[in-house]
């Protein structure tokens, strides 16, 4: 089981992704912006964050950089779930500290596989 934080400013996406991740047996918290995400990182202590890049206030790229400064890859798995396709965006995500880049609408099987493949699951 993982502790997964879903960060997206679109309620429908946030709710849908959270529902799927819960169905797969993971514990889930949700935030609609970077400020909420930073607060939940402290209280919920996720081992994985699935986030959009277009967030109000602080972008997902900025949030990833901030989180990566505080948490090494072994402690926090970052997945970008965004509407922005392309190798340049994927490369920018990896450079910002994300471990993976999925393009909306991503297949649920892709996200499930990433959550299952992280080498540092919470037991």
* Domain spans of the chain, in order of start: 3-111
Which pLDDT tens digit goes with each residue over 99-115?
999 998 777 888 998 99
Q: How confident is the model at residue 54 (pLDDT cuts 50, 70, 90)?
A: very high
> Is 66 within 8 Å of 42 (Cβ atoms)?
no
* pLDDT in the model for residue 120: 52
Q: Give the pLDDT confidence score for residue 122 in this predicted structure.
A: 42
- pLDDT category at 73 given cuts 50, 70, 90 is confident
Residue 41: which of 69, 3, 9 has the closest Cα? 3
Q: What is the pLDDT of residues 15-36, one digit of tens each?
A: 999 999 999 999 999 999 999 9
Q: Are 29 and 44 in contact (CB under 8 A)?
A: yes
Q: What's the pTM?
A: 0.91
Q: What is the rounded distance in angstroms from the CA atom of residue 94 to the CA atom of residue 1? A: 25
CATH number of 3-111: 3.40.50.2300
**Edge-to-edge strand ranges of the sheet holding 27-31:** 27-31, 3-7, 48-51, 77-82, 100-103
């Amino acid at each position: 089981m993982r502790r997964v934080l879903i960060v997206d400013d679109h309620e429908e996406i946030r709710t849908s992704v959270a529902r799927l991740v819960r169905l797969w047996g993971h514990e889930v918290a949700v935030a609609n912006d970077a400020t909420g995400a930073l607060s939940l990182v402290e209280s919920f202590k996720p081992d994985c964050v699935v986030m959009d890049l277009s967030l109000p206030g602080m972008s997902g790229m900025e949030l990833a950089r901030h989180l990566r400064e505080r948490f090494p890859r072994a402690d926090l798995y970052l997945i970008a779930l965004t509407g922005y396709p392309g190798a340049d965006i994927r490369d920018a995500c990896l450079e910002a500290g994300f471990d993976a880049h999925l393009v909306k609408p991503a297949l649920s099987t892709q996200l499930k596989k990433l959550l299952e493949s992280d080498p540092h699951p919470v037991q």
